[in-house]
Chains A and B, each alone.
Chain A
Amino acid sequence: MVANEFWAEGEPVVDKAAPDGPVETRWERRKFSAKLVNPANRRKLTVIVVGTGLAGGSAAATLAEAGYRVKSYCYQDSPRRAHSIAAQGGINAAKNYRNDGDSVYRLFYDTVKGGDFRARESNVYRLAQVSVNIIDQCVAQGVPFAREYGGLLDNRSFGGTQVSRTFYARGQTGQQLLLGAYQAMERQIGLGNIEMNARHEMLELIIVDGKARGIVVRDMVTGEITTEFADAVVLASGGYGNVFFLSTNAKGCNVTASWRAHRKGALFANPCYTQIHPTCIPESGSHQSKLTLMSESLRNDGRVWVPKRAEDCQKPAGEIAEEDRDYYLERIYPSFGNLVPRDIASRAAKNVCDEGRGVGPGGLGVYLDFADAIKRLGRKAVEAKYGNLFEMYERITGEDPYETPMRIYPAVHYTMGGLWVDYDLQSTIEGLFVVGEANFSDHGANRLGASALMQGLADGYFVLPNTISNYLANGPFPAVSETDAPVVEARKEVEDRIAKFLSIDGDRTVDSFHRELGQIMWEYCGMERTEEGLTKAIGLIRALKEEFWTRVKVPGKGEELNQNLEKAGRVADFLELGELMCIDALHRRESCGGHFRAESQTSDGEALRHDDEFGYAAAWEYFGADGKPTLHKEDLNFEYVHPSTRSYK
């Protein structure tokens, strides 16, 4: 078979930390069985946390509050700028404040189903359980959630669910939640419990005696390379959507921390599961540097349509009569309508554009129309709900969405894959924990709206602080020194790589390679994937990688603020990740969640899973000497939510 050219298969991977028994009590029992660290001993233990978004910020603050010594790192100039800040829509929690039939079990059920049966039941149940604590915690910190006139918290509904369980702060929920975690962190920094290192980038993991014991970092202002030691390392470094160059991620988001750990032995799971968000502002030209998401909460009141006839696409929207419009989501999915999950909404948009019925430049857009909502609720009510999003749209496009319908198109937004972790959020490297979007754990093949903020904060506030103690109880571990062989070696790898980047002095910029990689990924490993396309992509990426290492031009020196040097390191890692993503997508000959294989669809074009063959998480070991990554399967068992075909019709 063609596939074996590209990968090898190894032993299955088993989650040894997973508790059994009734799902409702697994988390309680795991917490009880986990070893604890006496409060007086915690100050003898140091934890490194890389990243200060919702997961990293909340973890750093909580670990410091518990009494551990925390060293925190972020590439931004302040921990407050981590990309969680840009999340708009909201955060789910099974509070059932609406009395609409919600429960922990229903959130669990929706998330397992929404993830297309590719997530672990134990993890997802725990996520649903702690979701309620997150809201309590955030309110106590002063997060200004939207409230009703009686003073109680407001909720809204979100794509893929039929209850209102999403808490929000206008269209800036991520910002407000992150500022809550940031402020808790700053309090601990002020108290001397967290050593904060902003504008520092992790470039290598240090493993001593099989345990993660530190990181090599570069001070992005001076260029100084230092080695930092701890008893455990936590990666909270976010997702890898920027492998596509154009995505809704911040420009600095990168896979380097995760990829360095992967190269050192941490398995990388389900890299092909990427989420393409249906409601982003379309591209405007070749200068495009990133894409901007419009919260999918807009789909609560906006109606998605394209002209029924391709020849109407060039007309202004207002000149297309009601009967000539195709509200295709409402037509194809009458029970969920405009609120179908993200993967379905995205692919439906691609399909109508492929039929030649797209609108706007290049025909790559569909309308999101608020005319009915404005008629029904009044302009003021629409403004109160979505005002800032409408303003954002107008600033970027120069068009007023109160007057003409928005144009939207799907864009890469989130990555469900990530470093493989067990129930304790520990990777396959002892002492290396991974939280938030950087891990692979809770969303399966597709993430529901408003669940990223929930998972990031669940991991950081409530899960990791309880599970990491089980590991730290074995410490403090023997002191590590600058002169230990693995430390010297890790440092040298970083220095050599930087020297290499600076010495190539070729004729192409880092960005030009990144853009080209992104085009390959979007074309062949985007919304729809085929065996032929993926095979081609792997060849293209390999050739591009070779070209990168001979033709890239990185100006300046290592010992200064050098933004192109930073980018070069990130793009070099994206080039390797891109290849693995294509191999993962190639090996998974089924459609599930964010991964749609054209060869695996029903007669009416819906995704077709193959549970018997692919009901596992694919955890990859780094490319060996033969250049092939090794696949380790983790079987997924569904005792509570039995795999069924997702139907939103």
Chain B
Amino acid sequence: MDIKVRVWRQSGPTAGGKMVTYDVKGISPDASFLEMIDVLNETLILNGDDPIAFDHDCREGICGACSMVINGVAHGPEKATTTCQLHMRKFKDGDVIDVEPWRAAAFPVIKDLVVDRSAFDKIIQAGGYITAPTGTAPDAHAAPVPKKDADAAFEAATCIGCGACVAACPNGSSMLFTAAKIAHLGLMPQGQPERDSRVIDMLQAQDDAGFGGCTNAGECTTVCPKGIPLSLIGRLNSDYRKAISKR
């Protein structure tokens, strides 16, 4: 396939950026999107140009590092798929493809397509855990967990922390990310003692980190590669109301 990509190039956090067009010729439809960028970068290096910086690591859709807005959609056109799992067979010969970084106030650009997502870690620090220091645990079978709760907790826990939800949100809100962790831990009996403080502290942390408010636009769940449902935000709001009413 022969395609053109228009890529956001920005040399550093404070530099201005712009879209630059590159030709990519003879790419296999079986190549992944990132492999297409690899091939382009090899050419750029040998031509003495600066290769495109982008985050990626596992290339299996699980580490959450890759993060490209492709043709205006976080992670691109394929549903429930991270950038690294998107393959060129989803495009046509002759396509012109726009590639941009996540754009959100809380995710400043570091270089080209690389952004700083450390604000997500700040939200987890505020309460996205169960306090269980090593060595304190009772036997794993001491407290059975109904299968349906365990399965629902697992579904919420599949969030990979990529930040597509934030990139897609018109407000740059991290509500889906936070809601997924609140649901994961709140659905398990182990998570109950800290349930109230968790939701209050995590919401405060996401405000402090510069994420916008949630207006139920629902763009987040549409781009989520793991299909985290919007209903978890309702669950979070319900938890929050209960928690503040006890204060």
Q: Which residues of A contact B (CB under 8 A)?
A: 58, 61-62, 65, 76-81, 83, 85-86, 95, 97, 133, 135-142, 144-153, 169-170, 172, 175-176, 179, 182-184, 186-187, 189-190, 196, 198, 221, 250-252, 284-285, 287-290, 292-293, 391-392, 395-396, 398, 461-462, 465, 507, 509, 511-512, 553, 555-556, 560-561, 563-564
Contacts and interface: CB of A to CB of B under 8 A. Distances in A.
Interface in B58-97: 58-65, 78, 80-81, 85, 87, 89
A153 B117 CA distance: 34
A241 to B, nearest CB: 13
Given A78-B117, A151-B145, A561-B110, A287 B140 contact: no
Given A142-B191, A187-B129, A287 B46 contact: no
Contacts of B161: 78, 80-81
Contacts of A184: 129, 132-134
A83 to B, nearest CB: 6
Contact of B132 (A140, A391, A396): A140
A512 B41 CA distance: 12
Given A141-B132, A144-B153, A172 B62 contact: yes
A285 B136 CA distance: 50
Contacts of A287: 27-28, 30-31, 35-36, 38-39
A285 B141 contact: no
B63 A83 contact: yes
Contact of B65 (A81, A97, A511): A81
Given A284-B28, A563-B51, 8 more contacts: A136-B138, A140-B136, A141-B130, A141-B190, A198-B121, A284-B31, A392-B61, A555-B49
B2 to A, nearest CB: 15
B57 A252 contact: yes
Interface of B: 11-12, 27-28, 30-32, 34-36, 38-39, 42, 45-46, 48-51, 53, 55-65, 78, 80-81, 85, 87, 89, 110-111, 114, 116-118, 120-121, 124-126, 128-141, 144-147, 150-151, 153-154, 157-158, 160-161, 184-185, 188, 190-191
Contacts of A396: 32, 85, 87
A547 B164 CA distance: 42
B184 A221 contact: no
A149 B137 contact: no
Contacts of A507: 46
A183 B60 contact: no
A78 B120 contact: yes
Contacts of B11: 560
A555 B38 contact: no
A77 B118 contact: yes
B114 A561 contact: yes
A144 B28 CA distance: 39
Contacts of B60: 86, 292-293, 392
B46 to A, nearest CB: 7
B192 to A, nearest CB: 10
A512 B190 CA distance: 50
Nearest to A147: B150
Contacts of A65: 133-134
Given A76-B57, A251-B59, A146 B35 contact: no
Contacts of A135: 140
B124 A289 contact: no
Which among A81, A144, A145, A285 has the greatest number of chain B C-beta atoms within 10 A?
A: A144
B147 A395 contact: no
B58 to A, nearest CB: 4
Given A78-B120, A135-B140, A252-B57, A145 B130 contact: no
Contacts of A153: 140-141
Contacts of B27: 287
Contacts of A175: 62, 158, 160
B110 A137 contact: no
A7 B128 CA distance: 52
A86 B89 CA distance: 25
A145 B132 CA distance: 17
B85 A395 contact: yes
B236 to A, nearest CB: 16
B61 A555 contact: no
A104 to B, nearest CB: 15
Contacts of B63: 76, 81, 83, 85-86, 250
Contact of B140 (A95, A176, A462): A95
